[in-house]
Amino acid sequence: MHMLEQLEQTYHRAQAELDGIRDKDTLADWERRYLGKKGDITVALRSTGQMPKEERAAFGKRANEIKNALTDAFTARETDIQAHELARTLEEGELDVTLPGRPVSMGGLHPTTQTLREISAIWAEMGFQVYRSPDVEDDETNFNLLNIPPHHPARDMWDTFHTTTPGVLLRTHTSPGQIRAMHELGHDGTEPIRVILPGMCYRYEQISARSEVQFNQVEGLAVGRNIRLSDLKGTIAEFARHMFGEDKRVRFRGSYFPFTEPSMEVDVECILCEGHGCPVCKYTGWLEIAGCGMVHPVVLQNGGYDPTEWSGFAFGMGPERMTMIKHGIKDIRYFWQDDLRFLEQF
Ligand code: DAH
């Protein structure tokens, strides 16, 4: 048969078949048979080169026309089939738009973050602003300026992470922030200040159920012209009642910190046994919640204040410990384990 005639026949067959196709799979098969790499039209086009010269131009031209026509027809059919399939799916109700959505799993605030926010809110109500101080501190501010000189035995209270830069360390407590706050917010000893300093602290310690190498503290500092021990006691007691309950008793025990004089530790009546004695309070009826005291004159001076005119109180509390007390958590290590079974309870 004449090549051109054969081509026309293939064209008509392809067109007729295409008109009858109603589904994707048959359409794909059709495309492979006619327009694919080894498809009839492609093969015919490729054979143009071997044809007698006088037929070549006419055949090539026609074959290209047919290829384009079939490609267009294919695309039109494809669009048509897709539209039909979508319409059918909708009609058959396979897509039920009334079904409730899948729940999105939501993150939550870490229990310590919740406690930190609670603590900040209570102090904010009493006029304390938040001041941020760096985690990476110098030896001078973390110790010396807080009245803890290099060979002072009190340095044993804080096992330190040193960096490879001499004199630079990870703060062992938030107290160095006191010095920075006094200079910055107190304008070198000319303005009164009331701040809390929340943040992470680091200690090179054996990790156990009761101590971690990193933990938060909330430091507090008030400096003014007439601040007395009774202000400290009243303010801390007010905080404890907000935090643990209006009816809770608070007591102060004498203690020692190099940066305060006098120094005290604060206990609140055990919130679980209400003072009767239980394992959480180790049968004492009391829970320790903070260290505090009147700012040592040397520290006031290092912050730029004249200690003969200014005085102040300071405190430091542990939000992880408070969270443990509040929720009866027995092991501080849970806080850093990222275990959802623990975290999802809060
Ligand atoms: N810096 C102390 C510590 O880490 C806590 C502390 C105690 C802070 C008494 C104070 C304070 O401001 O007055 O153990």
Establish whether residue 296 lines the binding site of ligand 1, counting it when its CB lies within 6 angstroms of any ligand atom: no
More confident call, 212 vs 97: 212
Chosen CATH of 111-343 out of 2.60.40.10, 3.30.930.10, 3.40.50.2020, 3.20.20.410? 3.30.930.10
pLDDT in tens, 305-325: 999 999 999 999 999 999 998
Q: What is the pTM of this model?
A: 0.72
Q: How many CB atoms lie within 10 A of CB 118?
A: 16
Looking at the chain, the whole-number percentage of residues with pLDDT higher than 70 is: 99
Q: What is the pLDDT of residue 1?
A: 54
| Average per-residue pLDDT for the chain | 93
**Residue 279 Cα to ligand 1 middle (Å):** 26
Summarize the confidence of residues 262-283 as an average pLDDT. Answer: 89
The b/e string for 39-56 (b: 16+ C-beta within 10 A; e otherwise) is bbbeebbeebeeeeeeee
pLDDT in tens, 22-52: 999 999 999 999 999 999 999 999 988 888 8
Enclosing H/E stretch for 215? strand 214-224
**Residue 316 Cα to ligand 1 middle (Å):** 4
Confidence tier at 297 by pLDDT (50, 70, 90):
very high
pLDDT in tens, 85-95: 888 888 887 77
**Residue 29 Cα to ligand 1 middle (Å):** 79
Least confident range from 170-174, 257-261, 271-275: namely 271-275
DSSP state of 49: G
Residue 219 pairs in a beta bridge with 197, 316
